[in-house]
Chain A
């Protein structure tokens, strides 16, 4: 089955750290660009970070730059988000999303999403 499965969320104190993971299955992980998108309770979608299929291009939202680090391990079909210096405003459901086409140069919409992992900073 083609799917994305996030994990690693939980309750953390302000200033703490968490590492989110997203495991892909059912397709060739290394061919795709991936992103993290978050959604605070009752709020809209907020782009967090993305990494291109070859790892050459990485982008961050201003709100997380310098605190969050995105990475990928193609051998494990996994995407990661290391989150440091967490703040209460980082509380959200974090989604992993895959771009629509293979080998895209970080300019594509996302057609596959996981169910998300909840991060609570309190």
Chain B
């Protein structure tokens, strides 16, 4: 099983700042099958990125993903909006079973 470790656990930033979230895998993720999800309280997860760097339908371009192999990141550009404050999860779907990281909480400073 591939273990995903996200850092930091909590990220405190102000609206308008830039956010960078990290996801590290215990072994290489096949074909960069790495996704990012956003979850707000009381809601199901929302797909942001797939294939490490491809934005899902309807996701604004202030979100970007990068990385390969074992190191991946999600960046929210220098335009953090109030609605971006949420919990973010990475998920690998290249190996069975799929696994999730433990999440990064992006909170308003």
Contact = CB atoms under 8 A, between A and B. Distances in A.
A45 B98 contact: no
Contacts of B103: 44-45
B72 interface: no
A56 to B, nearest CB: 13
Contact of B56 (A46, A50, A100): A100
B83 to A, nearest CB: 18
Interface stretch (A12-20, A24-32, A76-84, A107-115): A107-115
A35 interface: yes
Contact of A47 (B44, B56, B99, B102): B99
Contact of A62 (B56, B97, B98): B97
Interface string A89-109: 000000101001000001111
Contacts of A110: 35, 45, 47
Given A45-B103, A62-B1, A111 B47 contact: yes
Interface in A46-82: 46-47, 49-50, 59-62
Interface string B22-45: 000000000101010101000011
Contacts of B53: none
Interface of B: 1, 31, 33, 35, 37, 39, 44-47, 50-51, 56-57, 87, 89, 91, 93-94, 96-103
A114 B97 contact: no
26 contacts: A35-B98, A37-B100, A44-B103, A45-B39, A45-B103, A46-B100, A47-B97, A47-B98, A47-B99, A47-B100, A59-B97, A60-B97, A62-B97, A97-B45, A100-B56, A106-B96, A107-B33, A109-B51, A109-B91, A109-B93, A110-B35, A110-B45, A110-B47, A111-B57, A113-B45, A115-B44
Given A44-B87, A50-B98, 9 more contacts: A44-B103, A45-B39, A60-B97, A100-B47, A107-B31, A110-B35, A113-B44, A113-B46, A115-B44
A115 B39 CA distance: 12
A114 to B, nearest CB: 7
